[in-house]
Amino acid sequence: MARWEPHASERLAEAALELFAENGYENTTVVDIAARAGLAKSTFFRHFQDKRGVLFGEDVLTGVLRAAIAGAPEEAGVLEAVACGLAALGREVFTAERRPFTVRRRAVIETHADLQEREALKGVNLTAAVGAALVERGAEVMVAEVAAELGALALKRAYEQWCDLANTEEFADVARRSLDGVKAAASAV
């Protein structure tokens, strides 16, 4: 591929996952990734801080969630605002086209403890961002924190179900069902 072609970050991410599968995460370098993508090493560092960065698009998820929660109807309760955020993730991030990439990404993360730790930290940061977005909508801090934690649980469960290649449902549908399940479980305690 020519160096000037668009979508450098996507090309780098695809190249990285291919190399992680072929050589293992620990045996793949940034130089290898850039070369596979047909790009310069400096281009890699314009998009990602290090090779772990290829696997973690936290800023994208946070931005989508915060914007959707902020744009939820005024009359929406906190969990309904969270549902708007989860639905937006289905439209903008967890699309059918991205499912194969997401499944491969998840497989790489599951085999490395340091990547699992980074994924857990990403989850904590997303939960905090959702809580902050709910507070910005006017929710009390405790209510926002509980709703964010419930939303995080629903997101985790939905993500796991959606990553199953046998599942053909849209992420938004899986997430809605997961959030409904979390709400039902919370009301039963």
12-34: pLDDT as tens digits = 999 999 999 999 999 999 999 99
- The residue to which tokens 């857990």 are assigned: 120
Residue 167 has pLDDT above 60, yes or no: yes
| CA gap 179, 173 in Å, rounded | 10
Residue 134 has pLDDT above 60, yes or no: yes
125 burial (CB, 10 Å; 0-12 / 13-18 / 19+) is middle
* Model pTM score: 0.86
Query: Contact 16/33 with Cβ under 8 angstroms?
Result: yes
- Domains present along the chain, CATH in parentheses: 8-53 (1.10.10.60), 58-188 (1.10.357.10)
Q: How large a percentage of the chain has pLDDT more than 90?
A: 78
Residue 4 has pLDDT above 70, yes or no: no
Query: Contact 182/153 with Cβ under 8 angstroms?
Result: yes
Quote the tokens at residue 176. 């809605």
Query: Contact 79/183 with Cβ under 8 angstroms?
Result: yes
